[in-house]
Amino acid sequence: MQQEYVSLQLFYEKMICRILLLIILTSCVSGSFVVNVTQTCYQAEENHNITLEWTFTTKPDRSTRSLSIICCLIARHEHFVLYRVIHGVELSKSQDKTFSGRVQSDKDALREGRIRLQLSRLRTDDSGQYLCEVNTDYRFSSARCRVSVSAQRGRERNREGEGE
């Protein structure tokens, strides 16, 4: 039963990612609640770490209990959840297994309206679009950035060597 519930949950969250992309592509977000990316594009090498960052509008009196977040990678026509917060609580079971143990969030930054996710031991498969949607007090907004991870130079050289 538990297993079934978890896979249903994962399916549901992949659907959210898909809908989220549609919303980003079709709407022009306006209003007082915004999500921004601090960098639109990241370049990194395999096995290195990067820290992705989004900022969102905060109010001093707002509790993190009202905060829900979903961040996903869209790559190879697939959706992978890397970070999920529901009512201020991080849900690690929502995370796709490709990211398990590789994403570290910064809880202090979150309170200040910054989503900081350190992604470690980068793989070339981590390349793609990263979207985060933030929901709070019935408002939502989202933003995305692009990450490209290149193969390690040593490995490239080896591959070239193999070809000779």
List residues near ligand NAG by CB under 6 A: 34, 36, 48-49, 55-57, 104, 120
Written as six digits, the tokens of 157 are 């050289």
Cα distance between residue 84 and residue 63, in whole Å: 17
Q: How many CB atoms lie within 10 A of CB 140?
A: 18
Q: How far is the CB of 84 from ligand NAG (least distance, A)?
A: 20
Q: How many residues are present in the chain?
A: 164
Choose between 7 and 63: whose C-beta lies nearer to ligand NAG.
63
Q: How far is the CB of 154 from ligand NAG (least distance, A)?
A: 15
Choose between 74 and 103: whose C-beta lies nearer to ligand NAG.
103
Q: How far is the CB of 11 from ligand NAG (least distance, A)?
A: 30
Choose between 48 and 76: whose C-beta lies nearer to ligand NAG.
48
Choose between 43 and 49: whose C-beta lies nearer to ligand NAG.
49
Residues contacting 93, CB < 8 A, separation 6+: 6, 9
Q: What angle do CA 41, 107, 47 make, to 5 degrees?
A: 45
Q: How far is the CB of 38 from ligand NAG (least distance, A)?
A: 8
Q: How far is the CB of 164 from ligand NAG (least distance, A)?
A: 31
Cα distance between residue 73 and residue 88, in whole Å: 21
Choose between 9 and 64: whose C-beta lies nearer to ligand NAG.
64
Written as six digits, the tokens of 41 are 């594009």
